[in-house]
Every structure is written in structure tokens, then in C-alpha cells.
Amino acid sequence: MTTAENTFHNARIVLADEIVHGSVHVRDGVIADISATGTTTPGGPGTDLDGDFLIPGAVELHTDQIETHYQPRPQRYWAPVPAVVAHDAQMAASGVTTVLDAMRIGNGPGDTAISRVAEILVDAVGTAQSEGMLRADHFIHLRCEVSTADVVDVFETLGAHDRLRLVSLMDHTPGQRQYADVEAYRTYMVGKQRLAPEDFDTHVAELHSHSALYSDANRIELSKRAKEKGLTLAAHDDATSEHVDESSALGVRISEFPTTREAARCARDAGQLVVMGAPNIVRGGSHSGNVAAADLLADGVLDILSSDYVPASPLQAVFGLVDRAQLTLPEGIALVASNPARAVGLDDRGVIAPGKRADLVRVRMHATGTSEESGAVQRMPVVRGVWREGRRVA
């Protein structure tokens, strides 16, 4: 066996529609063959997975963690390339082999550094990727705050980057969409020490003024420019059927974090793929008081789970849903691998099948205790190995 080949033996292989006991043979970074032996006995030369699950590497469409690594404390910044490398290591260790790093652009009142941070981090991702520093495959996701004066200009600066794959349109003006409950916005801004309590009302008034000036025109202009560049377009926090009608008219293909059942159902009817945060599943609901992702799963309108602000949450959410018999493991893995890959046109990955990239993750389940409510054993998935294009990276 050459260094370009490997066989993963004695694995519970999660395929698109079933789980089989057997082996996966990899050649030159691509899955060459899958053998279902029906046993979990050790195999021959290669890597013995000891009966652990072998799943496709997760494809992450929306993680905010790169900004957190760059700015770990208020007004305190880390060196950008080391921040990207640290972020990448955390994602890979969470079973993610493809990452769309979500970066905000658009400076609003009190947030004058946002666009500059995005410019720095986009450059740092490009440097780290080109220099072979990264374990996962990284792309760029620009989150465009449409209610800001500079967002179109910044997009024009960053929109030509060769790693840019996804553009989302968002408006975080309190009183609608994500922060329909203004008190939830107060809790976030004041609780995270981003704003003094006595300045809250003035800040909200400024945000409303900016939204009235810029949101509609910027939403239209950004969608036009994204379409011209052939980029996938997402709408963030749609809450009503009118919001979905608007995003559909602009060419939106992905509904990110719809805040109501109505919006999620309308998005699905419009042909959009619905993305929700995996922490919403793990925590049992939205931290902003919006719709629970589990309700959208029950309604049959949930397509993709994203890590959002907790890198390990997608696999934790999927295996938790499986333990609660809310879906099968192949269905759960599709939420974090094949569906997000398809959403952004990465058709070479996201599933274990011959001819696909050998982006593979070894997962072992560990008992963590017993549920006080049901008495059932509680388990969590632990990533034991990660391979990107057949090469071990974690």
C-alpha cells in the first residue's frame, strides 16, 4: 500500500441511506471502494477503526468563531493568521473538513471596526490557505448588514476573492427579524457589555434611522452584484411570508435561521434550503426567543444545521436527535454534510461514496450520564480522527 492509499477497516460506515459494517478504501484523496463485510472484526493493512462510526466530514456554512479568535476580548486583537489557524484547528477537531468562514461587513452605529476586521480576516484566510497551514478546506461567507452605509463598497472590495462562496443579506435592526423582541436585543447588547444601559434607547433609534436610509436599496444592490459574480445568496432571519417573497424575488437560495415557522415553510415552498443553528437543537430552543429548530425538523422543513457559535454543536445535535429517535443517523449526517455541500455547489464532497473526496471523520460515542427525566443513558459523540482528502489532519 503506497502513501497515497489507505483502507479504513472495521467501521460502521454512514452512507447516504444506510449504515454498513465494513471498510472504505481511499486512493489519491478520493474514495475508491466501499466494502460491506457485515462484521466489525479487524481487517488487514490500513487503519482499524475498532467499530467506530465513519462519517463524511461536516460542511460548515455559518460559523462566527473566526471573529472570536481574532478578537478574544473587547478591543483586544490577536494576530490574524494565528487566529485563523487556531480557529481552523477547533473546527477540524469538531469533525468539520469544509468551512465557510462567516464574516460581517457593514459598519453601523457603535461598530466602526466591523468592515475592517472582515478585510483583515479574509486576507488572513487566503494567506493561511495558500501556505498550507490549514487542516480544513476554507471558503468565505460574507454576512452583509444591509442597514449600513458602507456595506456595498466593502462588498465590492472583497467580492472578487477567489474563496468567496456565499453571501447573506441581514438586517439586525431591533423590532423585527432576529430581534423582534427588543428586550432580547437589550439583553444581548448590554449583557455582553457592548453597550451601557443608559445608551440603549439612543442606539436603537440610530439603528432604525440607518435601516430606513439604507436597507432596501442595499438589499437590491448586493443581490444584483452577488448574482453577477455567480455567488450563492442567502437571506438571514426572515420572519414573515413577505420577507420570503422579497428574498425569493432577489434570487435567494438559502434561508438562514428563519425566525418563525411561517417563514421556514414559505422558504421551503419557494425552493430555498432552510438552515438553523445546531446550538438551537442542543439547548432546546433559540437564545433570542425565536422558533425552535426541533419544531422545523418536526414540520419537515429543516435542511441544514450550522455550528453558529459552538463548533462542536452539529455532531452533538445530530447524535442527540438520533438517540431521541427523531431521525436516523444517515438523515442527521445529511443535515451537516451532503445538504450544505449541495447548497453551495460543492458536489465533490459531503457523502461517503466512490468518486467523492475522502473527507472522513471517525466518531465514537461516550456515555455522559443518565437523564433525570427519562432515565435514559445520555451520550455524546467524540471525534477520534479526521482525514481531509485522505490525509489525516486531526
Are 97 and 225 contained in the same domain?
A: yes
- Provide the Cα torsion 299, 301, 302, 308; round to 10°: -100
Looking at residues 193-199, what average pLDDT do you find?
62
DSSP at 18: -
Whether 14 and 130 share a structural domain: no
Q: With residue 99 as reference, give the H or E element that holds it.
A: strand 96-105
- Please indicate, yes or no, whether residues 337 and 189 belong to a single structural domain of this protein: yes
**What is the reported pLDDT for 3?**
46
Query: Mean pLDDT score of the chain, rounded to an integer?
Result: 89
309 within a domain of the structure (yes/no): yes
In the predicted structure, residue 294 carries a pLDDT above the cut 60: yes
Percent of the chain with pLDDT over 70: 85
- Between residues 360 and 73, which one has the greater pLDDT? 360
- At 368, which helix (H) or strand (E)? strand 360-370
308 within domain boundaries: yes
Residues 48 and 63 reside in one and the same domain: no
pLDDT, one tens digit per residue, over 230-255 is 999 999 989 899 999 999 999 999 99
Residue 354 counted as domain residue: no
Residue 346's pLDDT is: 97
Quick check: 314 and 307 in contact, CB under 8 A? Answer: yes
pLDDT in tens, 256-291: 999 999 999 999 999 999 999 999 999 988 876 789
Pair 14, 102 in one domain: no
Same domain, 251 and 316: yes
Q: Give the 3-state secondary structure of residue 385.
A: strand
- Per-residue pLDDT, 48: 94
Please give the Cα distance from 361 to 388 (Å, whole number). 9
176 shares a domain with 317: yes
Dihedral over Cα of 334, 340, 342, 343: its sign: positive
Split into its structural domains, the chain has a count of 2
State yes or no: pLDDT of 178 exceeds 70.
no
Q: Clarify whether residues 63 and 39 are in a common domain.
A: no
Q: Is the pLDDT of residue 377 over 90?
A: no
- pLDDT at 378 (0 to 100): 79
For residues 137 and 31, membership in a common domain is answered with no
Percent of the chain at pLDDT exceeding 90: 73
332 and 302: one domain? yes
Q: Using CA atoms, how far apart are residues 238 and 73, in angstroms rounded to an integer?
A: 30
User: Residue 155: what pLDDT?
Assistant: 96
85-128: per-residue pLDDT in tens? 999 999 999 999 999 999 999 887 767 788 999 999 999 999 99
What is the pLDDT at residue 268? 96
Looking at the fold, whether 193 and 275 belong to one and the same domain comes out as yes
What digits encode the pLDDT tens for the residues 306-346?
Answer: 999 999 999 999 999 999 999 999 999 999 999 999 999 99
DSSP H helical segments within 174-255, as ranges?
A: 182-191, 200-228, 241-249
pLDDT reported for residue 190: 55
| pLDDT surpassing 60 at residue 22 | yes
pLDDT at position 2 is: 41
pLDDT of residue 132: 96
d(CA 279, CA 339): 18
Instruction: Please state, in angstroms and rounded to a whole number, the distance separating the CA atoms of residues 335 and 320.
Output: 13
Which pTM value belongs to this model? 0.90
293 assigned to some structural domain: yes
Judge whether 356 lies within some domain.
no
The CATH number given to whatever domain includes residue 368 is 2.30.40.10
- Distance, CA of 145 to CA of 276 (rounded, Å): 19
Pairing mode of beta strands 5-14, 19-27: antiparallel
Taking alpha carbons only, the member of 223, 214, 231, 269 closest to residue 247 is 223
Q: In the structure, what pLDDT confidence band is assigned to residue 41 with cuts at 50, 70 and 90? A: low
Angle of helix 200-228 versus helix 151-158 axis, rounded to 10: 40
188 and 274 in a single domain? The answer is: yes
For residue 154, being part of any structural domain is answered with yes
In angstroms, the CA 154 to CA 104 distance is 10
Which CATH number is 312's domain given? 3.20.20.140
Question: Residue 23 is part of which domain span?
Answer: 5-53+362-392
3-state secondary structure 110-163: CCCCHHHHHHHHHHHHHHHHHCCCCCCEEEEEEEEECCCCCHHHHHHHHCCCCC
